[in-house]
Chains A and B, each alone.
Chain A
């Protein structure tokens, strides 16, 4: 069993944020939604913690890759079927 550490940091404490706190607040930080004071603490931690800095960078790049990934074209036969089906449905009474 892991030995419980004697030093724990609290957000706002003189040591600033730690890795666990950064992880817990990662969404807010990456999305720019973290409270400015908290943000400052997290940045203080990032300035001295290479692994956390790289994790934040990795997460941002992961999001960018998925976001910028070109949507795929519809297979042309399907596209034709789709439009024909929609036109048909449009004409149905009640639509």
Chain B
């Protein structure tokens, strides 16, 4: 579907020239996305409200310095992600892994190999129509560490590039790639345990023609 009305770029230009209505249109256009991202990152409705407000306040304050090299949505997403991570840092002590610790590269360098492998019983389209799916998605993503959550949401949901994600989160591109792989695999594992068809389940070493022993899989997973 084509966006109706002026482009973000037009609205940004108008807002930069002092047009409050243009800025409010930008807010209306992006508030649900920002709130949804903040909710998933913080796992809390109240924190998400706080982050959403901080994001748009910060956008007002920094709009004149926004050089429009990236899309407005990308710029806003980076602000929101940082505001959310700030909230999570404040909560340090309440969570098992502190965010700053989690920003360091993974210690063991191992890729967790898939354990529960099964075809899903339903297509994502059908699953998305079920109310319980939303909750399951929230629960699964809440189990990731904050930085894994942030990388997954920025890359796979908000569609930022590896470089944009790295820049937004202040980590290296290599770090983004490793985090993304771990996040995708962990979410896959969680969701497949719920959505997978037990009758169409495969053992990790159940190869049709070319069996690879599990020891091989673990060795190669380091690469």
A-side contacts of B31, CB under 8 Å: 74, 79, 82
Chain B: interface residue total (CB-CB under 8 A):
67
Give every chain A residue within 8 A of B206 (Cβ-Cβ): 50-51
CA distance A9 to B207 in the complex (A): 15
Interface string of A14-35 (1 = CB under 8 A from B): 0100111101101100100000
Once the chains bind, are A95 and B32 in contact (CB under 8 Å)?
A: no
Inter-chain contact A48/B208, CB cutoff 8 Å: yes
The residue on A at minimum CB distance from B191 is A62
Q: Which residues of B contact A7 (CB under 8 A)?
A: 216
Q: Which residues of A contact B23 (CB under 8 A)?
A: 86, 90
Residues of B within 8 A of A70 (CB): 128
Q: Does B187 contact A (CB under 8 A)?
A: yes
Q: Tell whether B69 is near chain A: CB-to-CB under 8 Å.
A: no
Given contacts A26-B184, A48-B208, A51-B117, contact A67 B156 (CB under 8 A): yes
Closest to A24 in B: B223
Task: Judge whether B35 and A71 touch: CB under 8 Å.
Answer: yes
Residues of B within 8 A of A55 (CB): 114, 117, 188
CA distance A24 to B217 in the complex (A): 10
Q: Are B210 and A66 in contact (CB under 8 A)?
A: no
Give every chain B residue within 8 A of A58 (Cβ-Cβ).
Answer: 114, 117-118, 120, 188, 191-192, 196
Residue of A at shortest CB range from B177? A27
Please measure, in the bound complex, the distance between the C-alpha atom of A90 and the C-alpha atom of B218, giving whole angstroms.
56
What's the Cα separation between A7 and B217 when bound, in Å?
Answer: 12
Cβ-defined partner of B52 (8 Å) among A45, A66, A74: A74
**Chain B contact residues: helix, strand, loop or mixed:** helix
Instruction: Report which B residues bind A (CB closer than 8 A).
Output: 20, 23-24, 27, 31-33, 35-36, 39, 45, 49, 52-53, 56-57, 60-61, 111, 113-114, 117-120, 123-124, 127-128, 133-134, 137, 141, 152-153, 156-157, 177, 180-181, 184-185, 187-188, 191-192, 196, 202-210, 212-221, 223
Q: Which residues of A contact B157 (CB under 8 A)?
A: 66-67
Interface residues on A, range: 35 or more
Q: List 7 A-B contacts (CB under 8 A).
A: A4-B215, A19-B220, A27-B184, A59-B184, A78-B49, A86-B24, A90-B60
A37 within 8 A of B: no
Report A-chain residues with C-beta under 8 Å of the C-beta of B210.
Answer: 15, 18, 45, 48-49
Tell me, in angstroms, the Cα distance from A67 to B135 when the chains sit together.
15
Known: A66-B157, A69-B137. A50 touches B223 (CB 8 A): no
Query: Which residues of B are found within 8 Å of A57, using beta-carbon distances?
Result: 119
Taking a contact as CB atoms under 8 Å apart, the answer to whether B220 and A21 are in contact is yes
B133, B191, B221: which contacts A23 (Cβ < 8 A)?
B221
Asked if A62 contacts B188 (CB within 8 A), the reply is yes
Asked whether A63 and B184 contact (CB < 8 A) given A4-B215, A51-B206, A74-B31, the answer is yes
